[in-house]
């Protein structure tokens, strides 16, 4: 089964797209487990508390994200082993992009996350920070009613986006999706790309062959 990560800056629509993708996979007969980082566990909750502060030490928070992820991975692997498709909203790529944008050395971030297996496929929802912030503050958005987290500032999100775009060039698992389009168009784009991979896997299965995703990505 596939381990899929959705990445992108705040306001890029990961949550909505992840839910739609999971329900599409279920309609196709797959079991789908939807999850997210930071998690709802104790460490994840602690992280959310610190995210409300402006000057929390970025190295300390990077370590907390890694600790949260270490627990999260156990959960992810057990779902994958019991034949679920797993979709996570954010994974260690978020740590590289966000804590990297705060000046933390990316090699060090990779090292403290080296226990985390790569996702099979990453959909990176690309959007201009200005547009993402507009979405987050729009009157119809539920986010309007909640406290703003310190990471949701335009200049900062610009640096985060630059990091993501760099990863997209360097990592073949990264699929860049234009997230400025409508919810429906973005979802169609993701489904089209994932659909190709699923058909490939099914074909290989029929032939009794081991799947080599690298051939497709
Ligand atoms: P997220 O759950 O996407 O935000 P929300 O619930 O508000 O939609 O993530 C919370 C914030 O945490 C987001 O600004 C990105 C940040 N983050 C990191 O900085 N590093 C990480 O490793 C992860 C997983 C998230």
Half-sphere exposure at residue 5, Cβ-oriented, CA atoms within 13 angstroms: 20
Measured from CB, residues less than 6 Å from any atom of ligand 1 are 10, 36-38, 51, 65, 90, 94-95, 98-99, 149, 151
Q: Closest ligand 1 atom to the C-alpha of 38?
A: 24
Residue 142 pLDDT more than 60? no
Q: Closest ligand 1 atom to the C-alpha of 14?
A: 3
The contacts of residue 186 (CB under 8 Å, 6+ apart) are 13, 17, 125, 177, 178, 179
4: β partners: 87, 121
Query: Residue 81 to residues 35, 74, 78, 184: CA-CA distances in angstroms?
Result: 16, 11, 5, 31
Residue 210 pLDDT more than 90? no
Question: Which among 84, 41, 35 has a CA at the least distance from the CA of 65?
Answer: 41
Question: What share of the chain has pLDDT > 90, as a percent?
Answer: 81
Mean pLDDT confidence for 96-122: 97
Q: Closest ligand 1 atom to the C-alpha of 152?
A: 14
| Distance (Å) from CA 94 to ligand 1 centroid | 7
pLDDT at 150: 64
Residue nearest to atom 23 of ligand 1 (CA): 94
* HEC letters along 124-191: EEECCHHHHHHHHHCCCCHHHHCCCCCCCCHHHHHHHHHHHHHHHHHCCCEEEEECCCCHHHHHHHHH
pLDDT digits (tens, 9 = 90+) for 7-18: 999 999 999 999
pLDDT at 44: 98
What distance in Å separates the CA atoms of residue 214 and residue 217, rounded to the nearest whole number?
5
| Distance (Å) from CA 100 to ligand 1 centroid | 13
| Distance (Å) from CA 163 to ligand 1 centroid | 15
Asked if 165 and 96 touch (Cβ cutoff 8 Å), the reply is no
pLDDT digits (tens, 9 = 90+) for 64-89: 999 999 999 999 999 999 999 999 99
Looking at domain 3-215, its CATH class is alpha beta
Question: What share of the chain has pLDDT > 70, as a percent?
Answer: 91
Domains of the chain: which residue ranges? 3-215
pLDDT digits (tens, 9 = 90+) for 24-61: 999 999 999 999 999 999 999 999 999 998 788 999 99
**pTM of the predicted structure, to 2 decimals:** 0.93
What distance in Å separates the CA atoms of residue 90 and residue 13, rounded to the nearest whole number?
12
| Distance (Å) from CA 38 to ligand 1 centroid | 6
Q: In what order do the strands lie in the sheet with 121-126?
A: 31-36, 84-89, 3-8, 121-126, 174-178
pLDDT digits (tens, 9 = 90+) for 160-204: 999 999 999 999 999 999 999 999 999 999 999 999 999 998 888
């Amino acid at each position: 089964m596939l381990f899929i990560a959705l990445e992108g800056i705040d306001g890029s629509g990961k949550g909505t797209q992840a839910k739609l993708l999971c329900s599409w996979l279920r309609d196709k007969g797959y079991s789908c487990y939807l999850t997210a980082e930071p998690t709802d566990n104790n460490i994840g909750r602690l992280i959310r508390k610190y995210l409300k502060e402006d000057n929390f030490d970025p190295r300390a928070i990077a370590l907390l994200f890694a600790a949260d992820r270490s627990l999260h991975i156990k959960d992810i692997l057990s779902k994958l082993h019991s034949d679920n498709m797993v979709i996570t909203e954010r994974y260690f790529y978020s740590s590289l992009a966000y804590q990297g944008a705060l000046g933390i050395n990316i090699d060090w971030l990779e090292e403290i996350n080296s226990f985390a297996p790569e996702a099979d496929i990453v959909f990176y929802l690309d959007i201009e920070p200005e547009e993402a912030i507009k979405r987050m503050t729009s009157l119809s958005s539920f986010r309007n009613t909640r406290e703003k987290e310190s990471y949701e500032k335009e200049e900062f999100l610009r640096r985060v986006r630059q990091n993501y775009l760099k990863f997209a060039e360097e990592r073949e698992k990264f699929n860049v999706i234009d997230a400025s389009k409508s919810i429906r168009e973005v979802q169609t784009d993701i489904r089209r790309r994932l659909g190709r991979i699923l058909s490939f896997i099914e074909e290989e299965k029929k032939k009794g062959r081991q799947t080599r995703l690298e051939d497709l990505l």
